[in-house]
């Protein structure tokens, strides 16, 4: 099964995706994680991406489209994939449609997750990530047992630079201008499902599973 998950920053795509790919046995491609790994390893594409990410802007299409095509077409994703954070604008969605057709694949579900802006702000500003394993916590809603330390692997927790208040406003603006129009692009498809992501994590997950399987 091939799934596209989209929605505003902070809506919970990453957390929900981790559970979903485990349950369905499919491969998770989180565009933001792929880009952060490229930045960390200092590749040419990573260096190009960094300034856009730090400013809360979208990395140019030609960079992200190439990176995602290479991954979706790898032989080990035969069981299906979940795209989280790609596409993020209509031209990426068009490029995705072309690449899937070229390789005889299709999207089985497109799930749009949404929540009010005040909630997104709260979720983003409290978010903490493990440097070592990438697991996510929240200062108030799911704090680590020991401050600053990952419950799973003991790694150090940090706040993403782009989760600082001065960048979040820009990311939400970019979302409204460039990513939200994907709703019009996808909503007429039979594969489209809309999800209210305002509830607690387990309740939203139950609805996500329902949306994917129905
Ligand atoms: P995320 O982890 O999904 O919040 O993404 C972090 C940052 O990576 C975004 O603010 C963008 O700068 C960049 N990014 C992630 N996905 C894309 C994409 N599909 N197109 C362009 N830039 C992206």
Distance 51 CA to ligand 1 centre (A): 12
Task: Clarify whether 102 is annotated catalytic.
Answer: no
pTM exceeds 0.95 for this model: no
Centre a 10 Å sphere on the Cβ of residue 99 and count the other Cβ atoms it contains.
15
Question: Which residues touch 13 (CB under 8 Å, ≥6 apart)?
Answer: 5, 6, 7, 30, 84, 85, 113
- Residue 19, pLDDT above cutoff 90: yes
Q: What is the mean pLDDT of residues 178-196?
A: 97
Could you tell which of 51, 55, 58 is best to mutate to test the pocket of ligand 1, judged by most ligand atoms within 8 Å of the CB? Answer: 58
CATH number corresponding to 2-116+167-213: 3.40.50.300
Say whether 71 is catalytic. Answer: no
Task: Read off the pLDDT of residues 58-117 as tens digits, 9 standing for 90 and up.
Answer: 999 999 999 999 899 888 788 899 999 999 999 999 999 999 999 899 999 999 999 999
Structure tokens that stand for 113 in this block: 């997750």
- Helix 13-24 / helix 201-213 crossing angle, nearest 10 deg: 50
Q: Is 128 helix (H, G, I), strand (E, B) or coil?
A: strand
Nearest to 142 by CA among 157, 126, 156: 126
Is residue 35 in contact with ligand 1, taking CB distance under 6 Å? yes
58 Cα to the center of ligand 1, angstroms: 6
Cβ of 171 closer than 6 Å to ligand 1, yes or no, is yes
Distance CA 94, CA 161 (A): 30
């Amino acid at each position: 099964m091939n799934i596209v998950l989209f929605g505003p920053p902070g809506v919970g795509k990453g957390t929900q995706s981790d559970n979903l790919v485990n349950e369905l046995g499919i491969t998770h491609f989180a565009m933001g994680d792929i880009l952060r790994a490229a930045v960390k390893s200092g590749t040419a594409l990573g260096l190009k991406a960094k300034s856009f990410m730090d400013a809360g802007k979208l990395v140019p299409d030609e960079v992200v489209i190439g990176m995602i095509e290479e991954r979706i077409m790898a032989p080990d994703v035969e069981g299906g994939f979940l795209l989280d954070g790609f596409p993020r604008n209509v031209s990426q969605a068009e490029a995705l449609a072309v690449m899937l057709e070229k390789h005889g694949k299709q999207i089985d579900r497109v799930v749009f997750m949404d929540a009010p802006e005040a909630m997104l702000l709260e979720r983003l500003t409290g978010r903490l990530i493990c440097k070592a394993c990438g697991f996510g916590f929240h200062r108030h809603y799911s704090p680590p047992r020991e401050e600053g330390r990952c419950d799973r692997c003991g790694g150090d927790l940090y706040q993403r630079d782009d989760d600082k208040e001065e960048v979040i406003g820009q990311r939400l603006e970019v979302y409204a201008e460039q990513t939200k129009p994907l709703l019009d692009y996808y909503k007429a498809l039979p594969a489209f499902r809309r999800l209210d992501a305002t509830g607690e994590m387990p309740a939203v997950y139950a609805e996500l599973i329902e949306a994917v399987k129905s």
